[in-house]
Chain A
C-alpha cells in the first residue's frame, strides 16, 4: 500500500472515530483528547501499542472526563451530570471540524519521513505541546517516556502490512477492533433480527422464523431524519445465512427479489480474541451477473469508483458494529 493511500485510510478511520467520540460530549470541535480516545480502539499498530500498555477505551474515557472536570475545578466550576458524556450522535448531526492543534498533530504524523499510520499519529500526539495528553496518560498510569520508546521501536521495525487487494477486485476487507467480549459481538453479528443495528441499508427485518431466508425492508430515512428515496425494486430484501461457525465466522447474503437484474452482496465476518476486546475482519463482496456484455466491457473503467463505494459501505458497517458496543 502506498504511503499516501495508507495515510488517507488511517485519517478516514481515525477521523470518524474521533468525531464520534466528540459527539458524545456535545461538541463539534474535535480535539486531541478525542483523537486519543479513537486510538484506543484503532485496529492498527497505534491502537495495539496503547492496549498493550493497558489503556482501554473505558479507562481512557474516564481519564479524559476526570482531567476536564479537574481543570474546570481549577477555575471554580463544578462539572455536573448535565454536561457529562452521552451516547454517540455523530451520524445524526453535522458541522464537525478539527481544532487547530489537532490538525497540527495530523500534519506532524505524515511529514518528515513519518508514514501517517496510526502509530505515527500516536507518536505525534505524545509530542503535542499543551500537556493535556501527558496529564491524561498520568491519570491512566502510563509512563509517557516508555510509551514513546515503544512507538519508536515499532516504527523502526515498520512491520509489513497485509495486502488488501485480492483476486476479486469487487470485494473489500476491513479489520476493526471492537472493545467488547467476542461472545457479545458474535451475538450481534450472527442474529438475523439484529442486522439493522449494523447494516445502514436495512430498516426492518421480519426475523420471527428460526431459519432463513428472511425478508427485510430497506431503510427509507437517514439517521438525521432526512428521507431516502429507494427505487421500488430495492425496497424488499432477502436475507440468507450462508455460513455460521460459532463464534468465529459468519457469512450473510443480501439480494433484491423484486429487481431481477440487481446484484447481490455478501458480508463475511471473521472474529478473534484480542487484548481488551476482539478483532473483527469484515469482507464485503458484490456478486456480478454475467448477462450484460456491454457493461462487462465498461466495468474496468468503473472499478476505482466501485472499490471506493465498497470501502465506504464497509466503513459504515464497521462503524455500526463498534457503535453498538461503545
Chain B
C-alpha cells in the first residue's frame, strides 16, 4: 500500500463528516477482507482457535461472527476431533 500517506491522512480533519463516513467504508472493507481470510484459513485446515489467535480475539468471538457466513461447502474441523 504505497499510496498510504499516514501523515497527510492523520492531518486531514477538515471535514469530519466525510472523514467519519470514510471510516465506515473502511470498516466494511475490513469485514470483507476478514471473511475472505477466515474462509481461506478454514480451507487450508486451520482450526477456529488458530484463526482466533491470529486475529487476536477469542475463539467464541470469531465463531459467532463467521460460522454462519462462511462458504457452506467448506468442511469445518470439529474442536475435539
A113 lies within 8 A of chain B by Cβ: no
Contacts known (A27-B32, A76-B3); A93 close to B71, Cβ less than 8 A: yes
In Å, the complex CA distance between A94 and B39 comes to 13
Q: Mark A20-62, 1 if CB is under 8 A from B, else 0.
A: 0000011111010000000000000000000000000000000
In Å, the complex CA distance between A75 and B33 comes to 17
B61 lies within 8 A of chain A by Cβ: no
In Å, the complex CA distance between A79 and B66 comes to 24
Is B21 in contact with A77, judged by CB distance below 8 angstroms?
no
Q: Which of B1, B26, B28 contacts A31 (CB 8 A)?
A: B28
- List, in ascending order, chain B residues with CB within 8 A of A312's CB: none
Is B36 in contact with A71, judged by CB distance below 8 angstroms?
no
Q: Which of A28, A71, A95, A224 contacts B22 (CB 8 A)?
A: A71
The interface size bin for chain A is 20 to 34
Within 8 A of A (CB), among B10-28: 12, 17-19, 21-26, 28
Give the secondary structure class of B's interface: helix
Is B8 in contact with A83, judged by CB distance below 8 angstroms?
no
Is B1 in contact with A132, judged by CB distance below 8 angstroms?
no
In Å, the complex CA distance between A33 and B9 comes to 25
Is B68 in contact with A75, judged by CB distance below 8 angstroms?
no
Is A131 in contact with B29, judged by CB distance below 8 angstroms?
no
B54 lies within 8 A of chain A by Cβ: no
B73 lies within 8 A of chain A by Cβ: yes
- List, in ascending order, chain B residues with CB within 8 A of A95's CB: 66-70
Contacts known (A94-B72, A225-B73); A72 close to B32, Cβ less than 8 A: no
- List, in ascending order, chain A residues with CB within 8 A of B73's CB: 224-225
Is A83 in contact with B23, judged by CB distance below 8 angstroms?
no
Q: Mark A71-101, 1 if CB is under 8 A from B, else 0.
A: 1101111110001000000001111000000
30 examples of A-B residue contacts, CB within 8 angstroms: A25-B32, A26-B35, A26-B36, A27-B31, A27-B35, A28-B35, A31-B28, A68-B25, A68-B28, A71-B21, A71-B25, A72-B25, A74-B9, A74-B12, A74-B18, A74-B22, A75-B22, A75-B26, A77-B1, A77-B26, A78-B1, A78-B3, A92-B72, A93-B69, A94-B72, A95-B68, A131-B17, A132-B24, A224-B72, A224-B73
